Amino acid sequence: MVQEAPSKPPPHDRATILIVDDVPDIVVTIGRVLRDYQSRAATSGADTLDWVLHSRVDLMHLDASLQRDTPHSLCGAESSE
C-alpha cells in the first residue's frame, strides 16, 4: 500500500518565518497568509536581532520602512555578531 504524502509537514519540520513590521495589522495579515509555516513576529529592530541571534529563523519578511531601524542596519548588525 502506498502512503500519500501529508498535506502539511509536521510542526517541527515547517520553516520558521520571522515577520518584521511595526504595524500590528500587517503582522497579523502576513501571519494568516503564511499559516502553513511557523511564523514569529518582531515589531522593532531590537526584537528582530533577538530572534535572529537566539532562535532558528529560516526566512525573514522585513518591512523596508521600519520607523526606528532600517533593514540595512539590522542586516549589518546581524552579520557582525
Cell of 79: 552579520
Mean pLDDT of 42-48: 86
Residue 1 placed within a domain: no
Sheet holding 59-62, edge to edge: 38-42, 16-20, 59-62
Which residues does 75 contact at the CB level (< 8 Å), separation at least 6?
none
Mean pLDDT of 7-29: 81
Mean pLDDT of 40-63: 87
Percent of the chain at pLDDT exceeding 90: 23
Residue 2 placed within a domain: no
For 40, the domain range is 14-80
Residue 20 placed within a domain: yes
At 45 the pLDDT is 81
Question: By CB neighbour count within 10 A (0-12 exposed, 13-18 middle, 19+ buried), where does 24 fall?
Answer: exposed
CATH of the domain at 19: 3.40.50.2300
Residue 7 placed within a domain: no
